[in-house]
């Protein structure tokens, strides 16, 4: 038996996650399936998305709906969200998770590259929210979560397109919460610190970075996607019904 919470309100709740095929997103997909939620997710990596859905089904878990989509293509993305709602029912919880923390130097930026950074790390959040808000209003309840990052708070250099996007997510979360609060829709950001994922290990997590994170964190252990998932579950459940407009840091105390 798990030592972690099971939320009765997540049973059969329709949850939509972007970037669900790998990393933190894949753990979110599995965590919501384990709670009995009806889960749909999109990812640009169609193969990994299908493999995840097949694996969960083969383990006897509710099979999530895996949909291929590039979240930078807003009309296609909004059509995909509509298709998910058509298949599973109105979306009650939206988790805007897809992002790409590519590195770049300011002197190498072009306007096109900058726009692409914001498209993959920021723009889709608000258009996904736009697509689900009418259904949430009709239902009288909704939870929207935006994945932020502590990187901009720590002044991390070398990825200004990503960090600028993540900083903007805080402001966007606060003003959207104000706008949809009267309809009982909550909007929060979940802000990870350095979390071990396949991509982080493959591209950025050198022994030096690992040591600097351990030195800077209050908690002297590596954060894992499950640490983030437990916060996301809580924010999608009725247990957090009084919380909106906030940033919830899951960073081991690094900020």
Ligand X SMILES: NC(=O)c1ccc[n+]([C@@H]2O[C@H](COP(=O)([O-])OP(=O)(O)OC[C@H]3O[C@@H](n4cnc5c(N)ncnc54)[C@H](O)[C@@H]3O)[C@@H](O)[C@H]2O)c1
The residues that touch ligand X, with contacts defined as CB under 6 A, are: 19, 21-25, 42-45, 69-72, 97-101, 120, 147, 149, 192, 194-195, 197, 199-200
Nearest residue to ligand X by CB is 23
Cβ closest to ligand X, residue 19 vs residue 135: 19
CA nearest neighbour of 216 among 140, 126, 156:
156
Q: Is 162 a catalytic residue?
A: yes
Q: What is the 3-state secondary structure (H, E, C) of 108-122?
A: HCCHHHHHHHHHHHH
Question: What b-and-e string marks burial along 127-152, b requiring 16 or more CB atoms within 10 Å of the CB?
Answer: ebbebbbebbbebebbbbbbbbbbbb
Handedness of CA 122, 92, 227, 52 (dihedral sign): negative
Least distance in angstroms from the C-beta of 133 to ligand X: 21
The CA distance from 193 to 251, in Å, is 4
Task: Give the tokens for residue 63.
Answer: 């099979």
Helix (H) or strand (E) holding 144: strand 142-147
Contact at 8 Å (CB) between 10 and 95?
no
Helix (H, G, I), strand (E, B) or coil at 246: coil
Tell me how far apart the terminal alpha carbons of the chain are, to the nearest angstrom: 33
Please give the positions annotated as active site: 162
């Amino acid at each position: 038996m798990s030592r972690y919470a099971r939320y009765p309100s997540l049973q059969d709740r329709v949850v939509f996650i972007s970037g669900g095929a790998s990393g933190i997103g894949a753990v979110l997909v599995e965590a919501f399936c384990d709670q009995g939620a009806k889960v749909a997710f999109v990812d640009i990596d169609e193969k990994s998305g299908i493999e995840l859905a097949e694996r969960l089904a083969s383990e006897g878990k509710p099979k999530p709906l895996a949909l291929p989509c590039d979240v930078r293509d807003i009309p296609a993305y909004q059509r995909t969200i509509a298709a998910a709602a058509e298949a599973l029912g109105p979306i009650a919880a939206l988790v805007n998770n897809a992002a790409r923390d590519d590195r770049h130097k300011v002197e190498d930026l072009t306007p096109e590259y900058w726009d692409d950074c914001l498209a993959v790390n920021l723009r889709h959040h608000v258009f996904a929210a736009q697509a689900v808000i009418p259904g949430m209003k009709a239902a009288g309840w909704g939870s929207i979560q935006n994945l932020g990052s502590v990187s901009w708070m720590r002044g991390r250099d070398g990825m200004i397109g990503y960090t600028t996007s993540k900083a903007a997510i805080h402001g966007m979360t606060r003003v959207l919460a104000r706008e949809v609060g009267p309809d009982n829709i909550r909007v929060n950001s979940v802000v990870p610190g350095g979390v071990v994922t396949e991509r982080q290990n493959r591209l950025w997590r050198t022994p030096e970075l690992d040591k600097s994170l351990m030195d800077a964190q209050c908690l002297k252990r590596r954060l894992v996607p499950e640490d983030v998932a437990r916060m996301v579950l809580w924010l999608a459940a009725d247990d957090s019904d009084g919380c909106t407009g906030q940033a919830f840091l899951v960073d081991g105390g690094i900020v």
